[in-house]
Amino acid sequence: MICIADDVDAVLSLHNHLSLNFNGVTNSTALSPLITHLAPLILDTSSPVRGALLDSLNDLSPNYVPRESLFPHLSTLLLYIQSAMTHIHSPVRSDSTKFLAWTIDIGGEEVVRSAWTKILASYAGLLGWTIKGEEKSRIQLSRGSSILGNVVVTCRHITTLYTFLSAGMLQKRETGHRKAKVVKYATGNGIEIQHSLMEAYLLPTHSAPFAYLNLFSSPLVEGQVSSHDVPSRRTQFEGYISSVLSYLYDLTAELVPSEMSRRGDQTQVDELRVSVVRILGLIKMVYREDEEGGKKKWDKEWKRCLAKMNSLMEMKARSVGSRKLFREWELAGLDSA
């Protein structure tokens, strides 16, 4: 216990250290020693240590350093997060998506570009999906000593999963971060002319911009395509959809409202239902609207999962959570799917 208390105190002392030594730091190299020592604590078996670590990371950016300064270090943090998601210690697994959500908030595009398939594989172990034909180990919501604890944890896992999938599969709208260059010709009347080929000659915004072509990887060593672009990530995730839908079906079956009064964890149950609907809406938008016709391999699981959600919607338990659920259902257009 003394050792754990010392570890907690050491992590808590980082708050003062960050404010004194890292306020305004933009050089990512200066952060290397700090991240190198903090990252292994994601796997610490002490819950107070992991909690203090998460608080310190939340303080670090954007309070003291800009998000961009942490981009080079996300790959290091993600390695430990992936290990946490399949860790033998259950509380470490439960907290793993807290750190994943933080990295997505810091640099979602960097996360999905560098670790898309690895995070999906880690989620397969965390939630019990089928991967590469292996038998699925069913993970029920009622597993463990506390229904309340499991509902809260499962809600966080599924909510973070939706955020992760959205960051990886939705096309980003043009923002002020990268606007097309405008060439001003000396016409005398101030007319601005945008050259159509200007974008082709600009410097790339990230490293290895042509990695998606897989020019230098051996097919004997690496059979996967790069996840640097949205179409590739959509193709890679489609191999998981059947298992994801089966998991969501089982989960929805346990979320059917009972005739009892609202439970103490009803807020988490309502949020979990909403996250399930959002994931279904995302799958519908990406795979069943963008592509024309053709039967999907996972059509059976899709119809089965949708029918289960339909039965839940028809019960119409009139609560604040249910009203939000109906709104998400209508926005996703699942009633016409």
Residues 107, 133 within the same domain: no
What confidence score (pLDDT) does residue 127 get?
87
Find, among 121, 126, 117, 140, the residue nearest to 92 by Cα.
126
Residues 132, 270 within the same domain: yes
Tell me if 104 is assigned to some domain. Answer: yes
Q: Decide: helix, strand or coil at residue 17.
A: helix
What confidence score (pLDDT) does residue 120 get?
93
What confidence score (pLDDT) does residue 270 get?
84
Burial 156-168, CB ≥16 within 10 A → b, else e: bbbbbbbbbbbbb
What confidence score (pLDDT) does residue 135 get?
45
What confidence score (pLDDT) does residue 199 get?
63
Residues 238, 280 within the same domain: yes
What confidence score (pLDDT) does residue 276 get?
92
Residues 158, 294 within the same domain: yes
Tell me if 204 is assigned to some domain. Answer: no
- If one counts every other C-beta atom within 10 angstroms of the C-beta of residue 294, the result is 6
Last residue of a domain, one of 93, 116, 139: 116
184 DSSP β-pair partners: 192
Q: Which domain holds residue 76?
A: 11-116
What confidence score (pLDDT) does residue 260 get?
45
Residues 244, 320 within the same domain: yes
Residue written as tokens 């954007």?
62
Residues 160, 37 within the same domain: no
What confidence score (pLDDT) does residue 69 get?
86
Peptide bond before 62: cis, by omega within 30 degrees of 0? yes
Tell me if 84 is assigned to some domain. Answer: yes
Find, among 290, 317, 178, the residue nearest to 234 by Cα.
290
Tell me if 182 is assigned to some domain. Answer: no
- Which residues have CB under 8 Å from 323's CB, separation 6+? none
**Half-sphere exposure (CA, 13 Å, Cβ side) for 301?**
19
Structurally, the chain folds into a number of domains equal to: 2
Residues 234, 315 within the same domain: yes
Tell me if 185 is assigned to some domain. Answer: no
What confidence score (pLDDT) does residue 250 get?
86
Residues 72, 146 within the same domain: no
- The span from the CA of 90 to the CA of 84, in Å, is 9
Tell me if 123 is assigned to some domain. Answer: no
Residues 98, 39 within the same domain: yes
- The span from the CA of 123 to the CA of 110, in Å, is 18
Q: Quick one: DSSP state of residue 158?
A: H
Residues 134, 246 within the same domain: yes
Residues in the chain: 337
Residues 101, 239 within the same domain: no
- Which residues have CB under 8 Å from 101's CB, separation 6+? 156, 159, 160, 163
Q: Decide: helix, strand or coil at residue 193.
A: strand
Tell me if 190 is assigned to some domain. Answer: no
What confidence score (pLDDT) does residue 185 get?
47
Q: pLDDT tens string for the chain (337 positions)?
A: 445 555 666 665 666 666 666 665 666 677 888 899 899 999 999 998 999 899 889 888 777 788 888 888 999 999 999 999 999 999 999 999 999 999 999 999 999 998 999 999 999 989 887 665 444 444 443 344 443 448 889 999 999 999 999 999 987 754 444 444 444 444 455 555 566 676 667 776 666 666 666 666 655 444 456 788 888 899 899 889 999 999 999 888 887 665 444 566 678 888 888 999 999 999 999 987 655 556 788 889 999 999 888 887 776 555 555 778 888 888 888 876 6
Tell me if 157 is assigned to some domain. Answer: yes
Residues 257, 157 within the same domain: yes
What confidence score (pLDDT) does residue 62 get?
76
